[in-house]
Amino acid sequence: MKSVAMAYYNGAKYIDEQIRSILANMEDTDELIISVDDASDGSETILQNWAQNDPRIRIIKGPGKGVVKNFENAFRHCRGDIIFLSDQDDVWKKNKMIKIQQAFEDPKVMAVVHDAQIVDEKLSSLNETTFEWRDSKAGFWKNMKKNSYIGCCMAVRRSALKRILPIPDNIWIHDQWIGLLAEQLGKVVFIEEPLIYYRRHGGNVTELTHGSITSMIKKRYHMIMEINRRVKEWSEHDKQNQRHIEKP
3-state secondary structure of 195: strand
Residue 36 has pLDDT above 60, yes or no: yes
pLDDT at position 49, please? 98
Helix axes 174-185, 67-77, angle to 10 degrees: 50
- Model pLDDT for residues 109-121, shown as the tens digit of each residue: 999 999 999 999 9
Bridge partner list, 112: 155, 189
pLDDT at position 203, please? 60
- Model pLDDT for residues 175-223, shown as the tens digit of each residue: 999 999 999 999 999 999 999 999 998 665 554 455 688 988 999 999 9
3-state secondary structure of 89: coil
pLDDT at position 28, please? 98
Whether 81 contacts 158, CB under 8 Å: yes
Mean pLDDT of the chain: 94
- Quickly state the pLDDT bin for 248 (edges 50, 70, 90): low
Which of 108-143 are b and which e, b meaning 16 or more Cβ less than 10 Å from the residue's Cβ? ebbbbbbbbbbbeeeeeeeeebbbebbebebeeeeb
d(CA 200, CA 205): 10
d(CA 192, CA 134): 13
Q: Averaged over 147-162, what is the pLDDT?
A: 97
Domain boundaries, the chain: 2-209
Residue 240 has pLDDT above 90, yes or no: no
pLDDT at position 211, please? 67
- In whole angstroms, how far apart are CA 65 and each of 38, 73, 218? 11, 10, 21
For domain 2-209, the CATH superfamily is Spore Coat Polysaccharide Biosynthesis Protein SpsA; Chain A (3.90.550.10)
d(CA 234, CA 174): 19
Residue 16 has pLDDT above 70, yes or no: yes
